[in-house]
Structure 1
Amino acid sequence: MDKLRDFLKSWPGRILLVLCLSPLALLGIESYFQGNVDPNQIAQVGEASVGLSEYQNAVNSRRSEILEQLDDASLLNEEVLHQQVLKGLIDRALLEQQAGKLGMTVSDETINRLLLQEDAFKDADGNFSNEQFSFFLRQRGMTKDQLFAEFRNQLSLDQLNASIVGTAIYPMKAVSQLIDLQLESRNVWLHRFDWRDYQQQVSISKADIQSYYDANKDSLKSNAMVDLAYIQLDPATIKIDEVTEEDIQRQYEAYKAETGVVDERQLSQILLTGAKAKERAESIKARLDQGEDFAKLAKESSDDPTGASGGAIGRFNPSVFGNDAAAVERALEGLSVGEVTAPIKTSFGYQIFKVTEDNSSQLPSMESMRAELIAKAQEYKRQETYADKVTAINDMAADGFSIEDIAQQENVSLKRLKDYRKENNTSVLAQPAVINQAFDEFVIQDQAVTSGIEVGSSTVWVQPSNYRPTKTLTLAVATAQITQILRQQKATDLALKDAKQVAAGIKTVADIGKQAVNFQNLGEITRQTTLLTEKERSLAFSEQAAANEVVALARKTEIGASVIVGDQISTESQSQLSDIERSQTAAIIRDNLGQDQLQDYLEYLRLVYKVDINEANMASAQGR
C-alpha cells in the first residue's frame, strides 16, 4: 500500500483520482441508535423514523470532526453540514429496512465469534476477558442484548453494502488505457483569440434581448442581499495596561508550575521593625559582611518570633510575601547557599534573608527570562482584555443595542458593506458562518446585532438592513446583464470564425509561421500541463496527427477561442506502475464505481420507501 500511496501522490495518480473518483456514500460505520424512538421526528422513512435528538447528536458529532480539521471555524458551512447529516441518516434508515426485507441478518454465534477476536476484550494472555467486556458495557450504559442488536444491525448493513459496492466491474485493460492516457505527450503551438477584441463588431438589438429574456427568465434572478454594518475585534489591536512586576512574577510562577520546577531554597531571616528599622538593618548587614554569625544576630536582633530559632522560615514561598514577592525574588536571585541579601523594605518592615540550603532543580533566573516573561504577561493581559470586551459586546447585542451604539461605546471602528450577497460572496466577510448569521430570518426581521462570530483569530458582529430577497429580474433590470452575455456570445462566435480560418491553413510545422497571427511554442506537454486552460487541455489531445504532419484544432474556450496545433501524440513506452500497483488502482476504481452504484440503489429505495421530512423540526434544529 505504501507504493500505492506514493503513486497517488504522483502526477498520474492525482489525475487518475480526479478522473475516476466519485463522491463516497456518507454512511459511516458509527451507530446512531437511541433507546426509544424520539417523538419529535425529523424524517419518516418508510416504517422507520429519524428522531430530533438522533439528528442533533449526529450533527454535533460531525461538526466536531470537521472543526478538528479547520483552523477557522467560520469556514464551516452549517447549511451543508445539516444537509449531509440528514441525507446520511435517511440513507442508513433506507438500507436498514431493505436489509430486513431481504432477510439479511447475523446469528448470535457469528457475533460471539467476532467479539472473541476483538483485542479490546482480551487480557494480557490474549484470552477473552469477561471483566473487560463487562467494563465496556458499563462505560456505554448498555446491556449485552443491546450491543448484540447494534452489531447485528451494523453487520446486516455491511452485508447489503458489500453486495452492492462489490459488484462493480472495471477491467484491467480499461485501467491500463486510463493510465496510459496520462502518459501521452506532444509538441503544441497555441494562439488565443480574445472575445473582447471583437466586442466592438457586435450589435445587440432589443429583439435579441427580449428573446434571451423570454428563454431564460427563470434563471435571471437577483441575488439575496443586505446592507451590512459590522465591527471586528482582533486581539492584536487590543490596547493593554503596562506590565507590572507582579505580572512578570505571576508568569514566572506559571512557568515553574508548567515545567514542574519547585523552588527548594531554605531561608532564614532577620526582621527589623519600628522607627529606626532601616538604620538597624544597615548596621546588621555591615556586621554580617564582616563575618558575624547570621543565626546569632537573628536571636539578638530580629523582631520576628523566628529569631529565637536563628531566623529559619523554611522553604521560600512567594505567596507568603504577597505584593512584596517580586522584590524578594529579585533580592534572592543568583544567591548561593550561605549568602545573604541586602536589607529589603517590605510591608513587614526591613528584612534580610540568608539562603541556608538549596535542593532546587536547575531553574533559569527570572531576570534571565525577563523578555520572555514580559511577552507572556502582555499576551495574557491582551487575551484577558479581549475576552472581557467580547463578553461586553455580546451582552449589549443581546440587550438590543444598535451596532453604532456598540461601536461608539466600545471604541471600535464601525465598517459597512453595501449589497452584501448571500450567494457568490467575495467580500472580506465571505465566511459561511458570517453569511448564515447575516441572512438569518430572525436577525433580518429584527435588524438585530448578531452575537460574536469567530473569524480566524478575531470576532465579528454584524447587523443587516435593507434586505432584498431573491426574485426574478424584470426585463429592464436584466437588460444590462443580458446585453453583456449576448455581447460575449456573439464576440466569441466571431473569434471562433477567425480561429477556424487560421486552423484550416495549417498542415505542417512550416505553415505555423506563415499565418497572420503569432503562435506561442509551448514545447512538449502532457495532459497535466498548466500552460493550457481546462478546455484547451481537452482539445490538445483530442485528435492524432498524420505522420510528418500536424493537426490544427479550433474551439471556443474560456477566453474566446483558441487554435491549438499539435504534432504526433506519443506515449511513454514503459508504464510507471508495476502490475501490483495497477491491480491496486483497479480496486480503487471499482470501489468508487461501486459507491456510484450504491447511490443509484439509494435513489431506487427512495421510490420504494416513502420519505417525509419535517421541515418545521428541521428549521428548529438548525436554529432557524
Structure 2
Amino acid sequence: MDKLRDFLKSWPGRILLILCLSPLALLGIESYLQGSVDPNEIAHIGDSSISINEYQTAVNARRSEVLDQLPDASLLNEDVLYQQVLKGLIDRKLLEQQAGKLGMTVSDETINRLLREEDIFKDAQGEFSNEKFATFLRQRGMTKDQLFAEFRNQLSLDQLNSSIVGTAIYPMAAVNKLIDIQLESRQVWLHRINWQDYADQVTVTPEAIKAYYESHKDSLKSKAMVDLAYIQLTPQTVQVPEVTEEDIQQQYAAYKQSLTAEDDRELAQILVTGADAQQQAAKIKAELDQGANFAQLAKRYSEDPTGQQGGAIGRFNPSVFGNDAANVEAALQGLTVGEVSQPVKTSYGYQIFTVTKDNSADVPSLDSMREELTAKAAAYKREAAYADKITAINDLAADGFSMEDIAQQEGLQVRNIKDYSKTDNQSVLSQPAVINQAFDDFTIHDQAVTTGIEVANGTVWVQPTNYRPIQTLSLDQARNSIAQLLRQQKATKLALNDAKKIAQTIKVPADINKQSVPFQALGQVNRQSPQLSNKERSIAFSEPAPKDGVVAIAIESEQGASILVADALQTQSKSALSDEQKAQTAAIIRDNLGQDQLQDYLEYLRMVYDIKMNEANLAGAQGR
C-alpha cells in the first residue's frame, strides 16, 4: 500500500488517478474512460463530441465535489454547475484536437520508460514485474492499450497547456515594483457629499423620461417573479414523545455495541420451578443475603443440571433466554464478582444469578451515563419524528394537497413572499435550490407544492402562484425607476460641481480646516484601507502632492461625490516579504497571466473549430 501511495504521488501516478478515479482534470473536467463515443451527444466539437453519459458523469462528479465543500446543500447553484461543466468539457475537446493537429504526442517507448521507473511495478530485486503491472491494470478494468492511449492524450494536453500557460512573463523587477506599490501610504482627509442633499434642486421632465426610455428600451426588463407561499419545518419545532426507560436501555445497548464491548462475565445460576417457585426463590435470595455460599445452595436447590457444578453456566448468552433476555440483562446490570441478582421470572421458572468471574472491559454503568443516554435518546426520537414529518408532508404534496391544507393538517404556519424574484433574490429563501424549485416549469404550470427542500436550518416546501415572466417594461412601468435614476444623475452632477469648487481651494494642510464642510482625518492609509470605497481607493494614490503641500481630488462616488485630500506618498524602505515569498508571488502572477493567455487561446479555438449544440439533449441531461 505504501508503494501504491508513493506511485500515486508521482506525475504518472497522478495522471492515472485522474483518469481512473475522477472526472476532473485539466480545466476542471475529465471524463471517465470510454470504449466508444455515445451516439446520443449533446455537443459536436470539430471531429469530436460530448455524449449525454459523459456530460452527466462529469456533472455528478463535480456536484459531489462542490457539495463536500458547502455547509448547506441548498446553496449549490445547479445552473452555474451545468454551465461550468459544459464549458470545461468543450474546452478539453478543443485542446485535445489542437494538440493532435500540432503533433504533440508521446511515444510508447517514453511511456514504457516512465512506467518501468515506478517502484510499484518492481519486484523484490528491483526489476520491472509484468505480473504486478498486469494486476494493476486488472484491478482498474483497463487494458494496456487503453492506459497508453489515455497517458498519451493527457501528456499531449499537458504539453499544449505548458506551452501556453508556461510562457507568461512577469519579471522580478515588476514583482518588486508591484509590492512597493502595495506598501505605499499617505495621510488622507475625506469629505463625502450625498447626492440626495441635492435632489430637491433638480427636476426630471416627462420628456426626459420618455427620451431615456426610447434609448434604453431593450435593457429595461422586468424580473421573472412569482408570489410564493411556503411552510418551514425544523427539528426543533417537531413534537417529540418523552424519553422512556426502554429508550435509555436501547441507547445504552447501542453504546456498548459501539465500543464492541462484550459481556465477558462468567455466571452461575439457581433455577427453581413449580407453583411455589416465586416463594422458594425469595427464600433462597434471603439466605444468600445472609452470607450463604451460592455454589452450595445451587447444589441443594437448583433444578437445572448445572446445579451439581455449583450452577456455573459460563458467559451470559442473550439468545438462550429469548424474549426474557432484556429482563435477565437488566437483573445482571452492574453486578460485580460475588454479587447476587434479584430473582428473575423467565420461561424456565425463577432464576437467581451471581457473577463468578469478570474479564470484560470496564464499561460505565447505565446509571452513570443516564443523563448522556437520555439526551441521545431524545435526539434520536427528534430525528425520527422530524424524518416522519417530512415524509408525511411530501406524501400530501404528491397527492395534490394545497399549501394551506398541508399546513392545517400538520400544524404549521403558511408564510408568503410577494414578488419573489428569480434573479437578485434577497429574500429569506434566496438559496439557489429553492429558487430552482420555485421556478420549475412543472411547478409553475400546476402551481403545485414542491417536495421538501433541505436548507441550512431545516426543510421548506414552496408553492408559486401568479408567475410573471421576463418582459420589456412599458413606459408606465419603467417611469418611476427612470425618474429616480435621472434625478440621481443630475443631483450627483451638482454634488460633484460643489466638490470640485472645494477641492480647488485646498493647497496646504491648513486649508482643510478653513472649509465650510467638515473633513474626516483618516490618518495614514494604504491601498487596502477599508475606510475608503473602491472608487476612492482607486483615486487616493493617483496623484502626487506638491512639496510642502497637499493634493485635493474631487470624484463622483457611489454616494454622490467625494473630496480626498492627501499629502506626500510614503513607501516602506524594505518589504516584509522574504525572497522566497517574492518568488512565490511572482509564480502566482505568472500563473494568473498564463491562465488569461489560455482563455484567449480557447477563444481562438472556438473560432477555428465548429461547435454545434444539441439543445434538446442538453436540456434532457440537465433534467429540464
- Counterparts of 2:321 and 2:558, CA distance in 1: 75
- Counterparts of 1:241 and 1:525, CA distance in 2: 60
- Counterparts of 2:323 and 2:505, CA distance in 1: 92
For structure 2, the residue ranges without an aligned partner over 5 or more in a row are: 1-23
- Counterparts of 1:317 and 1:246, CA distance in 2: 20
Give the match's secondary structure for 1:85. helix
Structural mapping, 1:202-601, within 5 Å:
202-273=202-273, 275-302=275-302, 306-307=306-307, 309-318=309-318, 328-344=328-344, 350-601=350-601
Deviation at 1:133, TM superposition (A): 2.1
Q: Is the 8 A contact 1:245 1:326 kept in 2?
A: no
TM-score normalised by the chain length of structure 1: 0.92
Q: Is the 8 A contact 1:25 1:598 kept in 2?
A: no
Deviation at 1:474, TM superposition (A): 0.6
Q: Kindly tell me: are residues 474 and 346 of structure 1, through their superposed partners in 2, closer, same or farther at Cα, counting changes over 3 Å?
A: farther
- Corresponding residue of 1:6: none
- Corresponding residue of 2:7: none
Given the alignment of the two structures, is residue 60 of structure 1 paired with residue 60 of structure 2, yes or no?
yes
Q: Kindly tell me: are residues 611 and 334 of structure 1, through their superposed partners in 2, closer, same or farther at Cα, counting changes over 3 Å?
A: same
- Counterparts of 2:302 and 2:199, CA distance in 1: 99
- Corresponding residue of 1:151: 151
- Corresponding residue of 1:110: 110
* 381-390 or 550-559, larger mean C-alpha shift: 381-390
Deviation at 1:320, TM superposition (A): 5.5
- Corresponding residue of 2:20: none
Q: Kindly tell me: are residues 446 and 587 of structure 1, through their superposed partners in 2, closer, same or farther at Cα, counting changes over 3 Å?
A: same
The one-letter code sitting in structure 2 at the alignment partner of 1:99 is: A
- Corresponding residue of 2:6: none
Q: Is the 8 A contact 2:31 2:57 kept in 1?
A: no
- Counterparts of 1:549 and 1:340, CA distance in 2: 97
Deviation at 1:124, TM superposition (A): 6.1
Given the alignment of the two structures, is residue 192 of structure 1 paired with residue 165 of structure 2, yes or no?
no
Given the alignment of the two structures, is residue 46 of structure 1 paired with residue 49 of structure 2, yes or no?
no
* 583-592 or 497-506, larger mean C-alpha shift: 583-592
* 133-142 or 460-469, larger mean C-alpha shift: 133-142
- Counterparts of 2:406 and 2:120, CA distance in 1: 55
Cα deviation 1:228-265 (Å, max 9, x = unaligned): 12222222222221222222122112111212222211
Q: Is the 8 A contact 1:218 1:472 kept in 2?
A: yes
Q: Is the 8 A contact 1:74 1:455 kept in 2?
A: yes
- Counterparts of 1:98 and 1:89, CA distance in 2: 14
- Counterparts of 1:519 and 1:486, CA distance in 2: 29
- Corresponding residue of 2:96: 96
Q: Is the 8 A contact 2:38 2:53 kept in 1?
A: yes
Give the match's secondary structure for 2:69. coil
Give the match's secondary structure for 1:221. coil
Deviation at 1:336, TM superposition (A): 2.1
Deviation at 1:56, TM superposition (A): 0.5
Q: Is the 8 A contact 2:29 2:85 kept in 1?
A: no
Q: Is the 8 A contact 2:281 2:351 kept in 1?
A: yes
* 241-250 or 40-49, larger mean C-alpha shift: 241-250
Give the match's secondary structure for 1:27. helix
- Corresponding residue of 1:16: none
Deviation at 1:597, TM superposition (A): 0.9
Give the match's secondary structure for 1:242. coil
Q: Is the 8 A contact 1:31 1:150 kept in 2?
A: no
- Counterparts of 1:368 and 1:197, CA distance in 2: 70
- Counterparts of 2:384 and 2:316, CA distance in 1: 29
Deviation at 1:489, TM superposition (A): 1.4
- Counterparts of 1:565 and 1:26, CA distance in 2: 49
- Corresponding residue of 1:20: none
* 241-250 or 187-196, larger mean C-alpha shift: 241-250
Deviation at 1:484, TM superposition (A): 1.5
Q: Kindly tell me: are residues 378 and 97 of structure 1, through their superposed partners in 2, closer, same or farther at Cα, counting changes over 3 Å?
A: same
Q: Is the 8 A contact 1:25 1:599 kept in 2?
A: no
Q: Kindly tell me: are residues 315 and 457 of structure 1, through their superposed partners in 2, closer, same or farther at Cα, counting changes over 3 Å?
A: farther
* 405-414 or 162-171, larger mean C-alpha shift: 405-414
Q: Greater relative contact order (Cα 8 A, min sep 6): structure 1 or 2?
A: 1
Deviation at 1:549, TM superposition (A): 0.3
Cα deviation 1:414-445 (Å, max 9, x = unaligned): 22222111001111111111111111112211
Deviation at 1:518, TM superposition (A): 0.7
- Counterparts of 1:323 and 1:534, CA distance in 2: 74
TM-score normalised by the chain length of structure 2: 0.92
Deviation at 1:330, TM superposition (A): 4.8
Deviation at 1:511, TM superposition (A): 0.3
Q: Is the 8 A contact 2:29 2:92 kept in 1?
A: no
